[in-house]
């Protein structure tokens, strides 16, 4: 079974804090993605990575950065959390043009 | 550009009713198409997929046929169960792309 593990299911942070969301895979897939999910807006791509130390901006990268130092781990960083970043964050992995596999999601609340 | 449009929800049905969730797409070339399902509090799981025109994907009683002429990939199930209550996402893989493009999701609620 494919495993995509996100470090937290629920997180509460204060405005202005630096926040790290971690995603780890056990499948050796090249591509890793971060999406955010909001009611009525569906899934929106924040960033993705196609290799170690490589990254590409998605549709809504503002206020976020990412890090991929090892193939199995992809981190999403909120440099200075704001209330409009309260959302569900989903990590996904993909090899080539096959289907994507998702983690269980992290529900982040910024207060 | 590439995009996916799916019917707005919520869709509310009684157990054993017939389900259709419409999905149409815009894409250059011939994308692969997917349906994902998200149960409450979970991430997304692949439900079914189709990689070329006229392919039919099926799983757990759900079906969808890749229709190039109408650029559609509608999800159907003949008899829904309470356990099918979830959010359903249609998605495409652009021929030259890496990231899947998702529709906004359709919430299905099935009552007994």
CA B69 from centroid of its chain's CA atoms: 18
- Say whether pLDDT at B1 is over 90: no
Residues of B in contact with A97 (CB under 8 A): 32, 93
Q: B30: pLDDT confidence band, cut at 50, 70 and 90?
A: confident
* Residue A59 DSSP one-character state: S
Q: B111: pLDDT confidence band, cut at 50, 70 and 90?
A: very high
pLDDT value of residue B8: 84
* Residue A79 DSSP one-character state: S
Residues of A in contact with B23 (CB under 8 A): none
Alpha-carbon gap: B17 to the closest alpha carbon of chain A (Å): 25
* A104 to B102: CB separation less than 8 angstroms, yes or no: no
Q: Give pLDDT tens digits for A40-90.
A: 898 999 999 999 999 999 999 999 999 999 999 999 999 999 999 999 999
* B42 to A105: CB separation less than 8 angstroms, yes or no: yes
pLDDT value of residue B96: 65
Alpha-helix residue ranges (DSSP H) falling in chain A:
none
CA distances from residue A109 to A14, A42, B6, B34 in whole angstroms, order as listed: 8, 18, 28, 30
Over range B29-50, report the average pLDDT. Answer: 93
Residue of A58, A87, A94, A97 to mutate, interface with B, max B Cβ within 10 Å = A97
Q: What share of chain B has pLDDT > 90, as a percent?
A: 79
Instruction: Specify whether the CB–CB gap between A74 and A49 falls below 8 A.
Output: yes
| DSSP line for B1-62 | --EEEE--S-EEEETT--EEE-EEEE-SS--EEEEEEE-TTS--EEEEEE-STT-EEEETTE
**How far apart are alpha carbons A54 and A49 in whole angstroms?**
6
- Say whether pLDDT at B20 is over 90: yes
What pairing do the DSSP bridges indicate for beta strands B23-26 and B32-38?
A: unpaired
Which residue of chain B is at minimal alpha-carbon distance from A33? Answer: B99
* Residue B67 DSSP one-character state: B
């Amino acid at each position: 079974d494919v495993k995509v593990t996100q470090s937290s299911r629920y997180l509460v942070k204060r405005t202005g804090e630096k926040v790290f969301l971690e995603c780890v895979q056990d499948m050796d897939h090249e591509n890793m993605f971060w999406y955010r999910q909001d009611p009525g807006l569906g899934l929106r791509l924040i960033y993705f990575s196609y290799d170690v130390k490589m990254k590409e901006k998605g549709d809504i990268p503002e206020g976020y950065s990412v890090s991929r130092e090892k193939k199995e781990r992809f981190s999403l960083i909120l440099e200075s959390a704001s209330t409009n970043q309260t959302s569900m964050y989903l990590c996904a992995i993909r090899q080539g043009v096959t289907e994507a596999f998702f983690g269980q999601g992290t529900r982040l609340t910024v207060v | 550009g590439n995009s996916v449009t799916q019917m707005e929800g919520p869709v509310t049905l009684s157990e054993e009713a017939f389900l259709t969730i419409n999905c149409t797409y815009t894409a250059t070339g011939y994308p692969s198409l997917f349906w994902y399902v998200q149960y409450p509090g979970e991430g997304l799981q692949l439900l079914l997929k189709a990689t070329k025109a006229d392919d039919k994907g099926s799983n757990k009683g759900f079906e969808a046929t890749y229709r190039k002429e109408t650029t559609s990939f509608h999800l159907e199930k003949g008899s829904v169960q309470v356990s099918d209550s979830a959010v359903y996402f249609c998605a495409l893989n652009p021929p030259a792309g890496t990231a899947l493009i998702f529709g906004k999701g359709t919430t299905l609620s099935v009552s007994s």
